[in-house]
Amino acid sequence: MITSVLVANRGEIARRVFRTCRDLGISTVAVYSDADADSPHVHEADVAVRLPGSAPGETYLRTDLIIDAARRAGADAVHPGYGFLSENAAFARAVIDAGLSWIGPPPESIDSMGSKIRAKQLMSEAGVPVLAELHPDAVTAADLPVLIKASAGGGGRGMRVVRQLADLPREIESAQAEASSAFGDPTVFCEPYLATGHHIEVQVMADAHGTVWAVGERECSIQRRHQKVVEEAPSPLVERIGGMREALFDAARGAAQVIGYTGAGTVEFLADGAGKFFFLEMNTRLQVEHPVTECTTGLDLVALQFDIADGGTLPADPPATRGHSIEVRLYAEDPAADWQPQSGVLHRIAVPGVTAEFAVSASPAGLRLDSGVADGSQIGIHYDPMLAKVISWAPTRTQAALALAGALARSTLHGLTTNRDLLVNVLRHKAFLAGETDTSFFDQHGLDVLAAPLADDAAERLATLAATLSIDAAERAAAKVLGGIPSGWRNVVSQPQWRDLDGPSGARHVRYQLTRAGLEADGFADIDLIAHTPTAVVLTVSGVRHSFDIARYGSTVFVDSSTASVRFEVPDRFTDPADQVAPGSLLAPMPGSVIRVAVSVGDVVTAGQPILWLEAMKMQHQINSPADGTVAELPVSHGQQVDVGAILAVVIPTLAP
Amino acid sequence: MTVLRTAVDRESVEYTANRDALLAKIVELDVEQAHAVAGGGEKNVTRHHKRGKLLARERIELLLDPGSPFLEFSALAAWGSDFTVGASVITGIGVVNGVECMINASDPTIRGGASNPWTLKKVLRANEIALQNRLPVIGIVESGGADLPTQREIFVPGGRMFRDLTRLSAAGIPTIALVFGNSTAGGAYIPGMSDYVVMVKERAKVFLAGPPLVKMATGEESDDESLGGAEMHARQSGLADYFAADEQDAIRIGRQIVGRLNWRKQGPAPKPDPAPPLYDEQDLLGLIPSDLKVPFDPREVIARIVDGSEFDEFKPLYGSSLVTGWAQLHGYPIGILANARGVLFGQEAQKAAQFIQLANKSDTPLLFLQNTTGYMVGKEYEQSGIIKHGALMINAVSNSTVPHLTVTMGASYGAGNYGMCGRAYGPRFLFTWPNAKSSVMGPAQLAGVLSIVARQSAEGRGQPYDEEADVQMRAFVEAQIEEQSLAPAMSGMLYDDGIIDPRDTRTVLGIALSAIHNAPVKGASGYGVFRL
């Protein structure tokens, strides 16, 4: 019997497993890297063991350290979560060899599915439809476009779409490098690339006594860079096409049976609009998006994992599903800037209306939050920048989508750029609400539309004014002298007060006066100021009252309203000549390490030509020349760690003839 | 604590009429101030901007802490003279990096920022305020020096400008010169006498003699930069302590300097979170009669300027034509003396003398709210010693060492002006409401006195008195005295520190009190001989 579980993972999945442990009366053991020393999962566990270092290779990927931690903390079982060592058969064996219970499938099953190349062969033999596999060397122009995948991969890492044969060698090389770094195995393969399709997956649960459930399907077609962003159950496609669910469930159960699977797993398929589907891979672990299945079935999948690991028996059939559930992954990333991951302090995270955390709410509808972070969490460069999963569950799909969109729009997310506005736009999009989701969703509807800020120009302008007035109030309140005198008071008035703010659409200059008669602000007609404090501003515009909550962290200001959140930076009022940056400087968009430098000082470069590559958050970012010109400075070198804003290179533009 | 009640009737005909009359005066004031703000006019302003320069007021606005107040002085200086209203310079108290500073900025759009006699008066007054109240001085310098046609009135007294700077320095009050342009000849001593000097690259020009004069004097060929450029002074002469890349950089450096002064206010701190008055400041417009002959209850004014409208009256039953009592304003304790029915009698004067001494014992600043027609005249009063009583009050006012603030709410005539701490009695600050008038006596009385004297003189000589000429003379004199007694005329002469909107009184006094408390607040230890 399991009495104490070590979760060999971090963040929200560690907390998710702990939550079930607490329900079942099982003790919890966390492991943590130095970067995670203050993370919620560490505080929440009964005991925690440090894994020195911060890089995954030194910490969460170290089998020896984790087994040792389990032994020292007295754990009798290990749950791997997802990612890291969750699909590492050697780790599973090591756990079992150490006399601990392994919360997962037999190592042999992991082996079978661990190599995507082998898995496809097995499935093909078992009669499950698969896409043709192409050897990288054998790809011809006729095969294009092709998708390069890491054989040992997952989560989209190492994946590349190649549309031109000339690009293939370079992309393969780069995919191999990423695969090697992420999974320790550089093997890649190619598949025909289906530009549009539906990502449908089936949650399976199998006990050691021959019962295999297909618990329900999920659709995760809305992806960015081959990573899922919106996941739901049931699948709108499967709902539309008669008989598809049964065929999918049969294939999924068949896949599990053929490899003697036990525990929780997911069989992933790619389907076309007509319902024809192909096996992609099987994930031999709990999936990130498992909550939508829990919400629609009422099951606690982690509890079932424990039960099966303890030798328990599943009932003959899974429960019937109910309603519709949608999960979004809230990432610290900037969709409008090529999805760049963000790092820094998450000052505040608050999602309104949450009815349950890491669990299914008791009510017939609700909002679930699975979050690995807390107010003040440091989002680092070492791990995935996912902040939280927000899951809604409602009787209908439309209700689930709109409730989730509303909660996200009203959420307080201070500190980092997130994909929140994108998620809200997707959930409220006509096509999404009509169930027209496929893997080309972002391409088809355009990131310019989908990543557009929730605050339109008018809303941003009003938020600028609200930010200005709150800063004004804060400065009056903090003034060392004359703080009680009205803001900007002059006995001889010569000009309005002014303030500069850098908003999402650029620099904003606000001119305003707080007169005896009230607020006067340039460009705002029929506006009244009802109240302004350092944290709240109430304005009426043409008689309509708008309330804003304002939070300041250093020079960053967040203005939240019921419809949108707008972030501003307050630039220094003065420029110190010593801080000036030479024109043509390329600045590091994020902290990371320089993994390749393609040019030397003095080289003539063309606009768009790669200068160097940065690796950050396990992604490689290419830094291109902003203009035709000459490389004048190159202060960084291969292997160097750089901070955000560091000058990477200076390109002196060539003057037009 | 006693909370004042109000009897103001906003629905009354008088209220509306008073309000309309005072609002009209405020509009006139705004028009005059707009002249000062306009500086050298649109053409010069445009040319100045085109050179990439900020206007004097823009420089000040950038220098101040955002949202902090700026109390400008003598905005109507030179009113009624041939010079531009405002006298080509802006002076005032503003907050720089959390420190109340006296800022003066020459306006280079008016004759290159040249100093005329009014400019000099205004700058010297600003320096006096800085010295008395211990306010660091920041000069924003860009001036072509003296206005040569009026050099006779400037040159000799103008030396005080430089003496003031070094005396401020000697008193431990920092002086900072931000040199944005010309500061030559005598003007060179402004940076020369300042504690800290910042010069703007390729703009500052600081030398005793320019290239033409050097050529005439010694035959040497030279140019502006080598004689007095910012870079030369920063690298070679050492006159510039800081070399600013541009105007905004000079202001940035100026703020940085103030931030490092380690400035401590020497007066007691105000009580935190003072309650605002209970009654609306807007009522001040309606309760002040448009006709100065109609008295008003100053408690209605006090109720609208002091914290929580709380006022503990002293000796309310004695000398009731003068209201005295204790209150708090923006957290600072004050004693208030306010004329209630214009005339000062013996009792009022004695009460005032006692009250002033009490304030000095408790180190409490005093606020004089003037609306006085002077000390009572007539046989009965002369015989009962009104001169002695007036002298008591003037003695106490003169030798009192707690800070005094004076606001002329209405009339300020005769020796009442002295007893109620008029300009000559050195209040730290003196402000005037737009409806106020001040002269040796009322214009009608003055014309009448002249008429009686002339009539007596004619009768003495046995000549017939020209009644028609008398009517004309009286009308002329009355009009002339009336005009000279009006607020803009008085303010133009720098007989006050500025005309203020009555509704701003609490704010203005709050800033003034806070500025005052940069210096210690200490009562007097001795007075002149009280003639009892």
- pLDDT at A156 > cutoff 70: no
A496–chain B nearest CA distance, Å: 10
Q: What is the pLDDT of residue A155?
A: 61
**Chain A interface with B: residues with Cβ < 8 Å:** 472, 475-476, 479-482, 484-495, 497, 499, 516, 573-577
- Three-state DSSP at B138 gives strand
Q: Is A143 exposed, middle or buried (0-12, 13-18, 19+ CB in 10 A)?
A: middle
**Distance in angstroms (rounded) separating the CA atoms of residues A20 and A307:** 12
Q: What is the 3-state secondary structure (H, E, C) of B290-313?
A: CCCCCCCCHHHHHCCCCHHHECEE
pLDDT in tens, A340-382: 899 999 999 999 999 999 998 777 789 999 999 999 999 988 8
**Distance in angstroms (rounded) separating the CA atoms of residues B5 and B299:** 9
- The verdict on B26 touching A (C-beta cutoff 8 Å) is no
Per the CB < 8 A criterion, the answer to whether A308 and A208 are in contact is: yes
Looking only at the bridges linking them, the beta strands covering A610-616 and A592-597 are antiparallel
With an 8 Å Cβ cutoff, are A482 and B504 in contact? no
Cβ atoms within 10 Å of A184's Cβ, excluding its own: 11
pLDDT in tens, A397-416: 999 999 999 999 999 999 99
In B481-524, at which residue ranges do the beta strands (DSSP E only) sit? none
Assigned token pair, B44? 């010069």
Q: CA dist B378 to B341, B381, B392, Å?
A: 17, 5, 19
- pLDDT at A644 > cutoff 90: no
**Distance in angstroms (rounded) separating the CA atoms of residues A445 and A453:** 15
| Section A455-469 average pLDDT | 96
- Alpha carbon of residue B247 to chain centroid: 29
Q: What is the pLDDT of residue A248?
A: 96
pLDDT in tens, B243-302: 999 999 999 999 999 999 999 999 999 999 999 999 999 999 999 998 988 999 999 999
β-pair partners for B182: B205
In B69-195, at which residue ranges do the beta strands (DSSP E only) sit? 70-73, 89-96, 99-106, 137-143, 175-183
Per the CB < 8 A criterion, the answer to whether A396 and A421 are in contact is: no
- Alpha carbon of residue B453 to chain centroid: 37
Q: What would the DSSP string read from start to end of B387-438?
A: HHHHHHHHHHHHH--S-EEEEEEEEEEHHHHHHTT-GGG--SEEEE-TT-EE
Most B CBs within 10 Å: which of A475, A485, A514, as the mutation test of the B interface? A485
> CA-nearest residue of chain A to B263?
A480
- The verdict on B33 touching A (C-beta cutoff 8 Å) is yes
- Report the residue from A484, A488, A489 with minimal CB separation from B330: A484
| Section A55-63 average pLDDT | 93
Name the nearest CA neighbour of A572 among A549, A552, A554.
A554
Contacts of B248 in chain A (CB under 8 A): 574-575
Q: What is the pLDDT of residue A583?
A: 64
**In chain B, what percentage of residues exceed pLDDT 70?**
100
Per the CB < 8 A criterion, the answer to whether A332 and A416 are in contact is: yes
Cβ atoms within 10 Å of A594's Cβ, excluding its own: 20
> CA-nearest residue of chain A to B69?
A489
Most B CBs within 10 Å: which of A469, A491, A557, A570, as the mutation test of the B interface? A491
Looking only at the bridges linking them, the beta strands covering B89-96 and B70-73 are antiparallel
**Distance in angstroms (rounded) separating the CA atoms of residues B257 and B246:** 16
Count H helices, E strands: chain B?
20, 16
With an 8 Å Cβ cutoff, are A499 and B72 in contact? no
With an 8 Å Cβ cutoff, are A482 and B75 in contact? no
Question: Does residue A285 have an active-site annotation?
Answer: yes
- The verdict on B29 touching A (C-beta cutoff 8 Å) is no
pLDDT in tens, B294-343: 999 999 999 999 999 999 999 999 999 999 999 999 999 999 999 998 89
B218–chain A nearest CA distance, Å: 39
Q: What is the ipTM score, two decimals?
A: 0.95
- pLDDT at A463 > cutoff 60: yes
Confidence of residue A656 (pLDDT cuts 50, 70, 90): low
**Distance in angstroms (rounded) separating the CA atoms of residues B95 and B61:** 10
Q: Can you say whether residue A610 is alpha, beta or left, with left for phi > 0 and alpha for psi between -120 and 50 degrees?
A: beta
**Distance in angstroms (rounded) separating the CA atoms of residues A149 and B279:** 77
Q: What is the pLDDT of residue A167?
A: 87
| Section B380-388 average pLDDT | 93
| Section B126-138 average pLDDT | 98
User: Whole-prediction pTM value?
Assistant: 0.87
The chain-wide mean pLDDT, for chain A, equals 92
User: Which residues are CB-contacts of A343 (< 8 A; sequence separation ≥ 6)?
Assistant: A332, A379, A380, A381, A385, A416, A590, A591, A616, A617, A644
Q: Which helix (H) or strand (E) holds A192?
A: strand A188-192
- Report the residue from B68, B72, B75 with minimal CB separation from A479: B68
Contacts of A493 in chain B (CB under 8 A): 37
Contacts of B71 in chain A (CB under 8 A): 491
The chain-wide mean pLDDT, for chain B, equals 95
With an 8 Å Cβ cutoff, are A485 and B507 in contact? yes
Q: What is the pLDDT of residue A588?
A: 83
**Distance in angstroms (rounded) separating the CA atoms of residues A235 and A202:** 10
> CA-nearest residue of chain A to B244?
A577
B489–chain A nearest CA distance, Å: 18
Most A CBs within 10 Å: which of B27, B61, B503, as the mutation test of the A interface? B61
Q: What is the pLDDT of residue A362?
A: 73
pLDDT in tens, A313-344: 999 999 999 999 999 999 999 998 889 899 99
Q: What is the pLDDT of residue A606?
A: 85
Most B CBs within 10 Å: which of A475, A490, A492, as the mutation test of the B interface? A492
pLDDT in tens, B474-523: 999 999 998 899 999 999 999 999 999 999 999 999 999 999 999 999 99
Cβ atoms within 10 Å of A43's Cβ, excluding its own: 12
β-pair partners for A282: A267
Q: What is the pLDDT of residue A42?
A: 97
Q: What is the 3-state secondary structure (H, E, C) of A463-499?
A: HHHHHHHHHHHHHHHHCCCCCCCCCCCECCCCCCEEE
Contacts of B65 in chain A (CB under 8 A): 475, 479
pLDDT in tens, B342-368: 899 999 999 999 999 999 999 999 999
Looking only at the bridges linking them, the beta strands covering B70-73 and A585-587 are unpaired
Question: Which range among A26-35, A575-584, B220-229, B432-441 shows the weakest confidence by mean pLDDT?
Answer: A575-584
pLDDT in tens, A134-151: 888 888 888 888 999 888
**Distance in angstroms (rounded) separating the CA atoms of residues A63 and A75:** 15
Per the CB < 8 A criterion, the answer to whether B28 and B85 are in contact is: no
Which DSSP state fits B470?
A: H
- Report the residue from A475, A480, A489 with minimal CB separation from B69: A489
Count H helices, E strands: chain A?
17, 39
**In chain B, what percentage of residues exceed pLDDT 90?**
83
**Distance in angstroms (rounded) separating the CA atoms of residues A289 and A230:** 9
User: Which residues are CB-contacts of B373 (< 8 A; sequence separation ≥ 6)?
Assistant: B342, B343, B411, B413, B414, B416, B442
The residue from A285, A397, A420, A552 that is catalytic is A285
Q: What is the strand order of the sheet A77-79 is part of? A: A47-51, A27-33, A4-7, A77-79, A101-102
| Section A173-197 average pLDDT | 84
- Report the residue from A482, A491, A577 with minimal CB separation from B245: A577
Looking only at the bridges linking them, the beta strands covering A227-233 and A356-357 are unpaired
**Distance in angstroms (rounded) separating the CA atoms of residues A562 and A192:** 45
β-pair partners for A28: A5
Looking only at the bridges linking them, the beta strands covering A77-79 and A101-102 are parallel
With an 8 Å Cβ cutoff, are B514 and A489 in contact? no
Q: Which residue has the tokens 């309606």?
A: B286
**Distance in angstroms (rounded) separating the CA atoms of residues A293 and A213:** 13
Q: What is the pLDDT of residue A657?
A: 47
Q: CA dist A559 to A350, A394, A449, A509, A607, Å?
A: 14, 30, 22, 16, 37
Looking only at the bridges linking them, the beta strands covering A366-371 and A386-394 are antiparallel
Q: CA dist A346 to A12, A165, A332, A342, B498, Å?
A: 15, 43, 9, 10, 52
Per the CB < 8 A criterion, the answer to whether A237 and A456 are in contact is: no
B499–chain A nearest CA distance, Å: 9
Contacts of B510 in chain A (CB under 8 A): 482, 484-485
Cβ atoms within 10 Å of B362's Cβ, excluding its own: 11
Q: Which residue has the tokens 């500061």?
A: B183
